[in-house]
């Protein structure tokens, strides 16, 4: 599938971070919500990551669909990131960074080994879900990037059952090579 890159990727430089937005939204048939980045956008991302002002910072990549997905092949084709393998090939040379996504509405944290380091791949829950499972319940994630660019902290918080505050909750973690 050939998709125009359009306005993506886009980048905002903030302190030690290069925040890079990607678009995986594409028209799909009914009951299919899978995303695609496309060759043009991935080629543009590769060029962008090589720019000195981006390469000297910690990349924080934002994509809607899951780039690391342990679900069945059918589930990945139905509502995953169809070209996740191509995205992972582009980011394989990164020594560090965050790769953030949503779509599946369940918190998770994957340490993805690259050829030169590790990327933290983190998913968020839905912002309005009232659910008994803290992995799914509405909340937010907190990320801290140290001055040297290292990922200093990844924490997750869920809305209390009372709806009046937030509590830190564990985030399921795994390592992928």
CATH number at 60 reads 3.30.750.180
Q: pLDDT value at position 4?
A: 55
Q: Give the Cα separation of 128 and 131 in Å (integer).
A: 9
Domain annotation covers residue 4: no
Domain annotation covers residue 124: yes
Domain annotation covers residue 5: no
Containing structural domain, residue 84? 10-176
What three-state secondary structure class fits 167?
A: strand
Round the average pLDDT of the chain to a whole number and report it: 88
Residue with tokens 């937030």: 166
Q: Give the Cα separation of 49 and 31 in Å (integer).
A: 34
| Structural domain total, the chain | 1
Domain annotation covers residue 2: no
Q: Give the Cα separation of 173 and 177 in Å (integer).
A: 14
Domain annotation covers residue 1: no
For residues 130 and 1, the model is more confident at: 130
Q: What is the mean pLDDT of residues 140-161?
A: 90
Is the pLDDT reported for residue 60 higher than 90?
A: yes
- Answer whether 0.75 is exceeded by the pTM: yes
Q: What is the mean pLDDT of residues 146-167?
A: 89
Closest Cα to residue 156, out of 129, 130, 122? 122
Alpha helices, DSSP H only, in 4-114?
39-50, 52-55, 73-79, 84-91
Question: Angle 17-18-20 (CA atoms, 0-180°, nearest 5)?
Answer: 135
Residue with tokens 């780039």: 67
Q: pLDDT value at position 38?
A: 93
Cβ atoms 154, 120 nearer than 8 A: yes
Is the pLDDT reported for residue 2 higher than 80?
A: no
Question: Angle 33-9-121 (CA atoms, 0-180°, nearest 5)?
Answer: 65
Q: Up-side HSE of residue 129: CA atoms within 13 Å toward CB?
A: 20
Domain annotation covers residue 130: yes
Residue 1 banded pLDDT, cuts 50, 70, 90: very low
Strand 166-169 and strand 151-159: the pairing is antiparallel
Domain annotation covers residue 16: yes
Domain annotation covers residue 3: no
Residue with tokens 């990727």: 9
């Amino acid at each position: 599938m050939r998709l125009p890159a359009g306005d993506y990727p886009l980048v905002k430089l903030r302190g030690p971070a290069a925040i890079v937005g990607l678009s995986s939204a594409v028209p799909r048939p009914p009951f299919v919500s899978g995303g695609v980045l496309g060759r043009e956008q991935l080629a543009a991302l590769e060029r962008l990551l090589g720019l000195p002002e981006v390469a000297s910072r910690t990349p924080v990549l934002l994509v809607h669909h899951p780039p690391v997905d342990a679900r069945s092949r059918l589930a990945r084709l139905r509502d995953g990131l169809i070209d996740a393998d191509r995205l992972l090939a582009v980011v394989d040379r990164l020594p560090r960074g965050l790769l953030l996504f949503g779509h599946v509405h369940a918190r998770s944290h994957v340490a993805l080994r690259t050829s030169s380091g590790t990327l933290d791949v983190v998913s968020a829950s839905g912002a309005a879900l009232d659910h008994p499972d803290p992995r799914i319940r509405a909340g937010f994630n907190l990320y801290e990037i140290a001055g040297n660019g290292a990922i200093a902290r990844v924490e997750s918080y869920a809305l209390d059952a009372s709806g009046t505050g937030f509590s830190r909750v564990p985030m399921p973690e795994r390592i992928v090579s």
